Structures are given as C-alpha cells and as structure tokens.
C-alpha cells in the first residue's frame, strides 16, 4: 500500500520534472538565440535548484519508508514516535505543495517554495534552521535513524560515565587524585565588558509582541548607541574598518541600519561570512527582527542553496559565493554596500575579496565598503585600505582569568589530562573545553581520562567526556550540545573546530596546550604538509574567549607567560601564503586580472608560489604562453574545483566519459571522509573497502564504484552503514555531482557514459593529473596507505602528495607510461618514460617517488 503510494508520488514528481525540463529547454533555446550567457547561467541554475528540491523530497520519503521498515516491530519511545510523526507531516505538507504546484504551468523561481498557503519559506526554513539553533530539534531531525544501532554503541563508548552523581564537590580531597599536580600562575585577566541583564522571556505567541520585543532587544546591543555615529561615518567615507568584539551585534545590526538609512534603495547590501552556517543563521535572525520572510527582503546565498529573490535587499553570503558572483558581475553593480565580516580570519576568499573590492571602489565611488574585524590589528586593515577610518564598537563579554604554567611542560598531552582532573576536583561547576590537534590525540586522551577516572570510582563527581572533530559522524557531534546533568561535569575534547566554527554553551574552563595542525604548501616540491605547530597569540586569545561566553571564565594555558610573550607569533600566517594558488590564479585571470605579481594583496603570497601556479595552469593549457586565458581555461574556471580536477572534467569530453569523471571529481573533492574505520571493526571496514577495488582498478575507479553502487541502492543509508561509508560525505558528493552536471551544460560538454572503458576514464584523469605521476624506484619504493594493491605497479598517478608523519601519496591509480607522452607531449617526452633505461623523471617529479 505504502509502497504504491510512494511509487505514485515518485511518478508524479517525475512527470513534473520532465515538464519543467521542457519548459526550461524552450527557455534555454530562446536564451541561446539571444546569445545571452548570463540568462543561460540563470536558467541552468534554476533547473538545478528545481531538481535539487525534488531530490530532497525523495530523501524525506525514503527516510520515512526506511523508518517504517526498520522499526516496524520495535516499540518506540514517545519521543521517537513524535519525531516520526513530525517528519511525516513535513513530507505530507511538501507533497501537497508539490502536487498543487504541478497544476501551475508557469515556471516560478526563485519563489518556488512560496506558492499557496500550505508551505511557505518561513516554515520550510524554520525546520532547516532548527537544526542549527536548537539542540533538541537537532536530535528530532535525525536523518540517520538507521545508524542509531551503531551509533548507540559509539555514544556509549564516547560517553562512558564514571564517578558518582551525588558526590559533592569539595576541594579537600584532591590530594587523592594527583601525585603530579601542575602549578599555574594567574597572570592576567582579559577584561570583560559591561553586560546588561538579559531578562528571561516568556514564550509569547503573538507576532506583534514578538516583533516589539525583538526591536527592544536590538536596542540593548552595544552597537545601538553608535548607530547614528556609524551612519554618519559611512556617509562621509567610502571605506570604514569596524572593530567589533564578539557580541557587539555588528553582523546583524549594521546591514539593518544601512537599510533603514536608505542605502538599499540604490542597490543591495551584501554581508559576507566565512562559513555557511553563519550566513544562514544570521540571515534568519535578521529576517525575524525585520518581520519579513526569509528569502524576501532578507536572504542568504551559499553553495547549493540560494535563498534570495528580486526583492532581496540585505544579502548574507559566504565569501566564496561573492567571489563567484564577481565572475558574472565584475563591478558588483547591483550592490551599494559590501560588508566583509570576520575579516580577521583571513580566509583565502576574504583575502582575494580585499584586493577585488579595493580595486572596484576606485571606479565606483558610490560603493561603500565596510571591513569588520574582531581583533586589534585594525591598523593593518586601515593601512591597506588607504588609511580608512577605524570605528570601534565594544563587545559584550565576561572577564576571563588567564593562568599560565610556572614551568614549561614537557608533554602537553599528559599536562592536559592532569589539568582537566585538577579543574574537576578543585573548581566550582562549569564545563571544560580542551583544545587538541587531531582525532587521534582526542581518542587517546579520551581513553586515558576514562581510565584514570575509573580508578577513582566514587571519590569524585561524574565526568562526561565528549569528543568533537569535523569527521565525527553528525549524530555523535550533536551530543556535545546536550545540557550537562546536575552534579556532573562535561569535558569537551575538541580540535580547532571549537575555536570559531561552533560554540558550546556552559563552557567555563578552557585548557589550551597551545598547538594545532596547520597545512602548508611547498611550491618548490608541490608537497602539502599538515604538521603540528604552535598557535598564534590571536588564536590563543580566541580560545581563551570561549570560556567567557555565558559567565566569567578561566583559561589554563599549558605554557609559560614567557612563551606567550616571546615565542608565539602575533597572528597566524594567512592562508593565501601557505596554499597552492592554482585556483586563485585561474579565478583572477578569468576576472581579467593579468598582472598577478603586482596585484594588491594585503599579504602577498610568495612569488614562487605564484609562478608555480602559473606554470601549472600553463601545463594544463588553461593559459597560453603569454599568460592569457585559453578557451580551456575559461571552461575550467566555471567549475568550483581545483584546476586539475576541472581539467580532468574538460578532458572527459574527448574520452566520452564525462558521466564517470564528474562522479570521480565529486568523490575526490569531498576529501578523505568517505570511509570510516571504527576502532573495534577495522578489519570489517577494510574488507568492505576492498570490495570496491576488485580487479585492481585503482583508487579513482574504486571511488567511482562506491558512488555508483550507492546510486544503485537508491542512495540507501542502510547500504552506507553496511559498507562503513559515511552517509554525510556521500550526500555531499551527490550535491557536488549534481552541481557539476549542471555546469557541464553551461560549458557545452555532453554527458556521456563509457563505464566499460576504464582506460578512457583513466586517460581523462591523467589529462588533469599528469603532473602527479610517479615511478617505482629501485631503492625501496613509493608507498601509499590507501592503495591496497598487492602487486606494485611501476607507474602511478596520484591525487595529492601530503606530508604528515611521513610522505604520502593519496588516491593512487596505475597508469601506462606512454599515456603521459600521448596526453601531455609538452610535458613528457618518450625518453622520460622509457622504462628500460635509467633516465630520470622530469624536473620535480623525482620527489614524487617516495
């Protein structure tokens, strides 16, 4: 019965889709007639968004069916029942909406979600937003119900609780615990700023009340007092640097002030964020404050989701998205104000944006620029923007006591453990946040802490240990947001993810060993490295601040104050100086910026890196010998991928296997988080993984196999679980793949499948990655963890080269050496690949053989 329903729904949706597609095809041909590529781009985006919506609906339906199937004989708790009913209701609403939409012949975008009364933007996004805002709802929205069995187990492991719940804390008996306590000296207090009382608010349903309250709340923000002064400054100067500490309200308020002052009459106000979640949640908040629907006057734009319309006046977006918009609108004509928020983070995209907006501000005197940063080095921003005035806004933060160790600690892992236990038995209630460098370290400390607290039994209060890092399955991540039970204490073991990307309430103590992993790039060898480095002062202060969010906090630094003063750099080296610039160069070239060496970077990257990037792009024939963009280069720039991946896709046209190649490109660009290996089931996980390698096909084809098999199972979550594959990563790969598929049309590459000819696929890969070839050496060999081949191939091509604990090639596939000469004759000659001789590899390539 239900299955038939589902089948009907699907048919319904398919019919609708094909209708839309027809619509779209006629529109596209009209656009073609006009030879208007921007229209073409718009239509392909619209079609893509439409398709994505249908896919999402399918996903919800599948979840419901899965749920019914799996739990048919299981008695559910009330909460689980409720969650299920909730999910079903959403589906019914959406279905009803889609069916009614089906009657409408017209193509409506981008307000497609907002027809009829049954479903509206607000509702739709309130659900999406809940995920990010409300920890309870986050659990309700659990889209991975099937995995719970496994995760239950993992959660049990990660949250084993020791100690006694009702043991009262006292500081008398901490001698029991340590023979090796650490001496800290309180050396400074980071001052808090006046904090006004937040009155607890009753839940009032009436819209007007809510709106009035929100308006009142706006007035309590520190920035409110500076409103008129700020607006005056904006009127007077073209560029302003704003220093606003956390909690000042700058991100939500400034765009609204500008709107109220009439700037939106002349064009949109853009506000860029380094992270997707931030762009979404801030936009949601502002639309609420203004009492408008999200996506109308206030909207956001991030990859895979464009929640804006013609009405949109205030647009929050990721910085990478604004960079992409530059490609279509090089003078940002539709904007009157651009606010670059969180500029102190100095992401790759913000650094490029700096150069671009500075440039256009010269010939667009009407364009206002606001550069907002949370740190003290505003002078630097000001200097860069021709001595722009600096506007300071106080924040709202509680004081944080900073403690340093008296003497340097030899082993920071051990020191961190001792400090956590010391805090646990001597300090008043409040959760602890420990900053560590990576997954492995977190797991180690997790185990040691459990071991040591277990021995203490009921002598101490309960200690909940919660690990968090980006690759941790989503459901386990959610656990850190659960409120700590009465009488217990939570200790969060986190990577740098907790420094900026997520905030955990209730943290009162921060333990900072002073290290993190930093990626850097050596342009000479083309090798990336990911090594543990000391953090910067800015980073240390950011970490300390994490303890003062909800009340006065304490930060324990596991180094001396002398170390802090003399050994730490002021700021972390900006990303642009430690990364492969091929993508940056391609973007700038396609914006028509030719003189890259003299491009006005705030912190110029090493010229060696620029040259290497130019060289690479030339080798990929994206640039000609005069350094101008070629047709291939222009096509490559359309793809949001690194140039070698883009080239691989462009080359797939020739080998008639674009279908397979975009799957591989998507899988490669989600990174290394596809397979997981639970510690207790490593052998099973490895075996499951070997299945995709049958026939010694190489890592690239194995990734393709993974994707295709998942697709054949109708994108089943259950299947992922059985094969030790992370659903989250697969869904991301699917999103990327859909996007790439849309872009293929834009650059006029036909989608063609050639699954039986693996050599054709490998040749396409080689066209992008011939740079990354490597030959087995007589002395020992290259090696790779990822590739489980038993017979070592003499020639391989790899995706990337990384130095961690050793040098690694990642994602390796065997290759016939004569392909190199065939595909990249400008780069390889016959003598280079002559297997019988002892000729060396071309310059630079020798390093690849490890």
Partner DNA sequence: GACGACAAA
**Can you spell out the DSSP letters for 629-663?**
B-HHHHHHHTSSS-HHHHHHHHHHHHHT-HHHHHH
- The residue from 130, 187, 563, 669 that contacts DNA (CB under 7 A) is 669
- Binding of DNA by 478 (CB under 7 A): no
- The residue from 83, 342, 800, 814 that contacts DNA (CB under 7 A) is 800
Closer CB to DNA, residue 390 or residue 850? 850
* Cα–Cα distance list, 500 to 69, 318, 490 (Å): 40, 15, 20
Nearest distance, CB of residue 475 and DNA, angstroms: 16
Nearest distance, CB of residue 582 and DNA, angstroms: 10
Classify strands 239-244 and 368-373 as parallel, antiparallel or unpaired. parallel
- Binding of DNA by 808 (CB under 7 A): yes
**Which residues 351-370 are close enough to bind DNA by CB under 7 A?**
none
**What is the SS3 assignment for 698?**
coil
Q: Is 291 left (phi over 0), alpha (psi -120 to 50) or beta?
A: left
**What is the SS3 assignment for 299?**
strand
Which positions ≥6 away from 3 have C-beta within 8 Å? 65
Name beta bridge partners: 405.
Answer: 184
Dihedral, CA of residue 627, residue 628, residue 630 and residue 633, to nearest 10: 70
- The residue from 671, 678, 817, 842 that contacts DNA (CB under 7 A) is 671
Residue corresponding to tokens 């001789």: 837
Q: Provide the token pair at 311.
A: 């009405």
- Binding of DNA by 306 (CB under 7 A): no
- Binding of DNA by 444 (CB under 7 A): no
Q: Provide the token pair at 124.
A: 């739709």
Between 309 and 328, how does the x/- string for binding to DNA read (CB under 7 A)?
---------x-xx-xx----
- Binding of DNA by 264 (CB under 7 A): no
Pick the stretch among 72-80, 89-97, 136-144, 517-525 that binds DNA (CB under 7 A).
Answer: 517-525
- Binding of DNA by 282 (CB under 7 A): no
Nearest distance, CB of residue 571 and DNA, angstroms: 14
* Cα–Cα distance list, 846 to 664, 775, 806 (Å): 27, 8, 17
- The residue from 246, 501, 571, 590 that contacts DNA (CB under 7 A) is 501
CB 731, CB 79: distance < 8 Å: no
- Binding of DNA by 516 (CB under 7 A): yes
* Cα–Cα distance list, 720 to 691, 734, 838, 841 (Å): 13, 14, 46, 41
- Binding of DNA by 802 (CB under 7 A): yes
Closer CB to DNA, residue 318 or residue 422? 318
Phi, psi of 616 (to 5 degrees): -60, -45
Nearest distance, CB of residue 211 and DNA, angstroms: 30
Nearest distance, CB of residue 501 and DNA, angstroms: 4
Pick the stretch among 243-251, 514-522, 615-623, 842-850 that binds DNA (CB under 7 A).
Answer: 514-522
Count of positions on this chain that bind DNA (CB under 7 A): 52
Task: Give which of 534, 578, 530 is closest to 804, Cα–Cα.
Answer: 530
Nearest distance, CB of residue 838 and DNA, angstroms: 29
Residue 754 CA to chain centroid, in angstroms?
Answer: 33
User: What gap in Å lies between CA 353 and CA 331, rounded to an integer?
Assistant: 12
Between 611 and 630, how does the x/- string for binding to DNA read (CB under 7 A)?
--------------------
Closer CB to DNA, residue 640 or residue 793? 640
Cα atoms in the Cβ-side hemisphere of radius 13 Å centred on 485: 12
- The residue from 438, 551, 817, 842 that contacts DNA (CB under 7 A) is 438
**Can you spell out the DSSP letters for 768-820?**
HHGGGEEE--SSS----SS---SSPPSEEEEEEEEESSSEEEEEEEE--HHHH
**Which residues 769-788 are close enough to bind DNA by CB under 7 A?**
785-786
- Binding of DNA by 440 (CB under 7 A): yes
Pick the stretch among 307-315, 421-429, 497-505, 827-835 that binds DNA (CB under 7 A).
Answer: 497-505
E strand map for 436-506:
463-468, 489-494
Eight-class DSSP state of 516:
E
Which positions ≥6 away from 163 have C-beta within 8 Å? 453, 456, 457, 458, 459, 460, 461, 462, 463
- The residue from 52, 159, 275, 847 that contacts DNA (CB under 7 A) is 275
- Binding of DNA by 684 (CB under 7 A): no
- Binding of DNA by 677 (CB under 7 A): yes
Dihedral, CA of residue 613, residue 618, residue 622 and residue 626, to nearest 10: 110
- Binding of DNA by 469 (CB under 7 A): yes
- Binding of DNA by 274 (CB under 7 A): yes
Nearest distance, CB of residue 13 and DNA, angstroms: 26
Between 688 and 727, how does the x/- string for binding to DNA read (CB under 7 A)?
----------------------------------------
- Binding of DNA by 640 (CB under 7 A): yes
User: Could you list the residues that contact DNA (CB under 7 A)?
Assistant: 274-277, 302-304, 318, 320-321, 323-324, 347-349, 437-440, 469-471, 495-497, 501-502, 516-519, 528, 530, 575, 583, 640-642, 669, 671-672, 677, 682, 785-786, 800, 802, 804-806, 808, 810
């Amino acid at each position: 019965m239900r299955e038939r329903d589902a089948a009907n729904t699907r048919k319904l949706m398919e019919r609708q889709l094909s209708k839309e597609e027809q619509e779209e095809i006629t529109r596209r041909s009209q656009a073609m007639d006009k030879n208007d590529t921007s229209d073409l781009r718009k239509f392909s985006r619209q079609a893509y968004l439409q398709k994505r919506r249908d896919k999402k609906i399918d996903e919800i339906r599948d979840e419901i069916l899965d749920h019914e199937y799996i739990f048919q004989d299981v008695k559910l708790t009330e909460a689980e029942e409720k969650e299920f009913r909730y999910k079903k209701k959403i589906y019914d609403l959406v279905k009803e909406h889609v069916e009614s939409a089906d009657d409408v012949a017209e193509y409506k975008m981008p307000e497609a979600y907002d027809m009829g009364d049954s479903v509206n933007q607000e509702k739709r996004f309130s659900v999406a937003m809940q995920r990010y805002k409300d920890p309870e709802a986050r659990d309700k929205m659990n889209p991975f119900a099937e995995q719970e069995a496994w995760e239950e187990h993992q959660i049990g492991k990660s949250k084993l609780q020791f100690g006694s719940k009702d043991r009262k804390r006292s500081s008398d008996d901490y001698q029991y615990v340590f023979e090796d306590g650490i001496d800290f000296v309180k050396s400074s207090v980071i001052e808090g700023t006046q904090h006004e009382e937040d009155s607890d608010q009753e839940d009032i349903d009436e819209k007007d009340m809510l709106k009035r309250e929100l308006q009142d709340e706006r007035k309590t923000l520190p920035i409110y007092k500076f409103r008129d002064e700020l607006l005056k400054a904006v009127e007077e100067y073209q560029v302003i640097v704003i220093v606003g500490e956390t909690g000042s309200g700058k991100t939500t308020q400034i765009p609204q002030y500008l709107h109220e002052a009439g700037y939106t009459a002349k064009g949109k106000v853009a506000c860029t964020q380094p992270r997707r979640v931030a762009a979404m949640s801030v936009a949601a908040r502002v639309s609420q404050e203004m009492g408008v629907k999200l996506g109308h006057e206030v909207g956001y734009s991030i990859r895979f989701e464009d929640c804006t319309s013609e009405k949109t006046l205030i647009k929050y977006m990721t910085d990478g998205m604004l960079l992409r918009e530059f490609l279509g609108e090089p003078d940002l004509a539709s904007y009157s104000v651009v606010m670059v928020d969180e500029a102190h983070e100095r992401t790759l995209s913000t650094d490029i944006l700096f150069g671009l907006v500075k440039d256009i501000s010269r010939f667009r005197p009407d364009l206002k620029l606001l550069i907002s940063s949370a740190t003290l080095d505003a002078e630097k921003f000001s200097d860069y923007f021709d001595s722009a005035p600096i506007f300071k806004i106080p924040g709202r933060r509680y004081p944080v006591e900073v403690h340093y160790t008296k003497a340097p600690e030899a082993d920071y892992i051990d020191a961190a453990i001792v400090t956590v236990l010391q805090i646990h038995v001597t300090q008043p209630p409040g959760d602890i946040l420990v900053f560590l460098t990576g997954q492995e370290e977190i797991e180690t400390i997790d185990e040691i802490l459990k071991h040591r607290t277990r021995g203490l039994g009921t002598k101490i209060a309960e200690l909940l240990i919660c690990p968090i890092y980006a690759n941790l399955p989503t459901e386990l991540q959610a656990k850190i947001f659960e409120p700590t039970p009465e009488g217990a204490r939570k200790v969060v073991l986190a990577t740098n993810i907790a420094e900026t990307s997520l905030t955990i309430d209730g943290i009162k103590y921060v333990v900072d060993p002073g290290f993190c992993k930093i990626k850097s790039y050596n342009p000479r060898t083309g090798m990336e490295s990911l090594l543990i480095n000391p953090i910067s002062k800015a980073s240390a202060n950011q970490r300390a601040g994490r303890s003062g969010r909800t009340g006065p906090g304490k930060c324990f630094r596991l180094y001396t104050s002398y170390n802090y003063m003399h050994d730490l750099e002021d700021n972390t080296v900006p990303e642009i100086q430690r990364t492969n610039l091929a993508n940056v160069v391609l973007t700038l070239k396609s914006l028509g910026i030719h003189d890259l060496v003299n491009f006005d970077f705030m912190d110029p990257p090493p010229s060696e890196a620029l040259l290497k990037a130019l060289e690479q792009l030339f080798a990929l024939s994206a640039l000609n010998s005069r350094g101008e963009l070629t047709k291939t280069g222009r096509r490559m720039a359309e793809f949001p991928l690194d140039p070698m991946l883009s080239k691989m896709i462009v080359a797939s046209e020739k080998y008639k296997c674009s279908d397979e190649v975009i799957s591989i490109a998507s899988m490669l660009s989600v990174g290394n988080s596809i397979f997981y290996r639970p510690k207790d089931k490593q052998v099973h996980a490895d075996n499951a993984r070997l299945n995709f390698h049958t026939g010694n096909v190489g890592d690239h084809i194995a990734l393709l196999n993974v994707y295709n098999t998942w697709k054949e199972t109708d994108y089943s979550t259950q299947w992922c679980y059985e094969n030790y594959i992370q659903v989250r990563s697969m869904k991301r790969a699917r999103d990327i793949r859909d996007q790439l598929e849309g872009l293929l049309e834009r650059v006029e590459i036909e989608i063609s499948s050639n699954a039986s000819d693996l050599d054709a696929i490998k040749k396409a890969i080689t066209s992008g990655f011939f740079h990354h070839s490597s030959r087995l050496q007589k002395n020992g060999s290259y090696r790779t963890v990822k590739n489980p081949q038993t017979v070592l191939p003499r020639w391989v091509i790899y995706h990337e080269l990384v130095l961690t604990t050793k040098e690694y090639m990642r994602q390796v596939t065997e290759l016939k050496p004569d392909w190199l000469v065939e595909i990249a004759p400008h780069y390889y000659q016959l003598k280079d690949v002559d297997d019988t001789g002892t000729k060396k590899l071309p310059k630079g390539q020798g390093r690849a053989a490890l």
